[in-house]
C-alpha cells in the first residue's frame, strides 16, 4: 500500500530490478562483509551494492500498467491518494516486463 506517494516511493520495484537482472541497477564489484554467527563463527557475506551512478529511473511508468492489469486500486483517505497493489502480481508483471525490456524503467528509454 502506498499512502500519499506514487510509484517512485515503491522500493519493492528495486527487488524486481534485481530479480530481472537489469544491467544498470547493481555495481559490478562484489563487496564482502563479515558477521559473527550465534556460535561465534565468522560468516562471509558477499553482495553487490546498488549502483548510485545509474541512469535516472521512472517507476511511475508502471502506475498505469498496474491499474490496467487490475492489480492496483486507487482511493483516498483524507487528502491522501492510496494505491493498494497486489504485491505478488506486481512482482510477476514487473519482472517479466524488465526481462523483456531491461531499460523500461530508465527515464527517456521509450
| Average pLDDT per consecutive 10 residues, the chain (110 residues; last block may be shorter) | 97 95 89 93 89 91 97 96 97 98 87
Q: Which residues contact 37 (CB under 8 A, 6 or more apart)?
A: 43
Q: Which residues contact 66 (CB under 8 A, 6 or more apart)?
A: 7, 72, 83, 85, 90, 93
Please give the pLDDT value at position 110.
54
Please give the pLDDT value at position 109.
60
Q: Where are the domains of the chain?
A: 2-100
- Ramachandran class of 40: left when φ > 0, alpha when ψ lies in -120 to 50, beta otherwise: left
Amino acid at each position: 500500500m502506498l499512502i500519499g506517494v506514487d510509484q517512485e516511493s515503491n522500493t519493492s520495484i528495486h527487488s524486481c530490478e534485481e530479480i530481472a537482472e537489469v544491467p544498470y541497477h547493481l555495481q559490478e564489484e562484489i563487496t564482502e562483509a563479515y558477521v559473527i554467527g550465534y556460535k561465534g563463527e565468522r560468516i562471509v557475506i558477499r553482495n553487490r551494492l546498488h549502483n548510485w551512478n545509474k541512469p535516472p529511473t521512472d517507476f511511475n511508468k508502471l502506475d498505469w500498467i498496474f491499474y490496467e492489469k487490475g492489480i492496483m486500486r486507487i482511493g483516498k483517505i483524507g487528502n491522501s491518494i492510496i494505491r493498494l497493489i497486489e504485491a505478488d502480481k506486481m512482482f510477476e508483471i514487473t519482472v517479466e516486463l524488465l526481462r523483456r525490456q531491461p531499460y523500461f524503467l530508465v527515464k527517456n528509454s521509450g
